[in-house]
Amino acid sequence: MTDHRLALIVEFQPARGKAAELRQALLDVVGPTRAEDGCLLYDLHEDVEDNDVLAFYEIWETPAHHAAHDATPHIIDLVTRMPELTAEPPRMRKLHRIEPGD
């Protein structure tokens, strides 16, 4: 059986003076996102060496569920704020599990 889940790592580097605001903006989308259909995991992490660098680790039931997530009002709002909150566009890595599934 093929595992159709999609995992992502999305990394955010705050703009100068925007670390606290970025952190809060990302924390604000955690609850609504976890309630979305197809969201299996949505955790926000901070870098061990630089706690201003933040990253989501996400697992979605299917790529279509992630696409629907990107179209939600809370994510559209967040994306529109990224240029003011981040030093560079977020880095996204899309991953597919290659070890045997559950």
pLDDT means per 10 residues, the chain with 102 residues, are: 84 98 98 98 97 97 96 97 97 88 59
| Domain assignment present for 62 | yes
Question: Quick one: DSSP state of residue 14?
Answer: B
Q: What is the pLDDT of residue 1?
A: 44
Q: Which residue has the tokens 């630089």?
A: 50
End-to-end C-alpha distance for the chain, whole angstroms: 10
Q: Furthest-apart CA pair in the chain: how many Å?
A: 48
Q: What is the pLDDT of residue 30?
A: 98
| Domain assignment present for 1 | no
Q: What is the pLDDT of residue 102?
A: 56
Looking up residue 49, the CATH number of its domain turns out to be 3.30.70.100
Give 22's contacts (C-beta < 8 A, 6+ positions apart). 12, 14, 15, 54, 85, 86
CA dihedral (14, 18, 20, 25) positive or negative: negative
| Domain assignment present for 100 | no
Number of compact structural domains in the chain: 1
Write out the residue range of the structural domain in which residue 75 sits. 6-95
Number of Cβ within a 10 Å radius of residue 36: 16
| Domain assignment present for 64 | yes
